[in-house]
Amino acid sequence: MAAGGTTTITLEENEVALIIGEEEGAMSVRVVSATEVEDGADEIGAAPEIVLALAMRLLKDPEFHDEVLEWYYAQDDDDDEDEK
């Protein structure tokens, strides 16, 4: 990863990105959508809704962060066992 720089990515029209950062031990979360979502929209697509839900959960539930990491590391263990 580049230190101290900015990385540019291009999202497809139907994509939404969850950007997680850390500064001085505090987590930051941003949601970026390739297309503008209007304020007060009655409905949004499934992808933005899922990403927003994950972002909110990460920000409001500190234990969820640990649960996500535990799940992730368990996947690595499962993949290693499958390769044997």
Q: What is the pLDDT of residues 50-59, one digit of tens each?
A: 999 999 999 8
**DSSP letter, residue 84:** -
Q: What is the pLDDT of residues 7-44, one digit of tens each?
A: 899 999 889 999 999 888 888 899 998 888 777 777 77
Cα distance between residue 12 and residue 35, in whole Å: 9
User: What is the pLDDT, as a whole number, of residue 77?
Assistant: 67
Cα distance between residue 67 and residue 45, in whole Å: 26
Q: Does the model's pTM come out above 0.85?
A: no
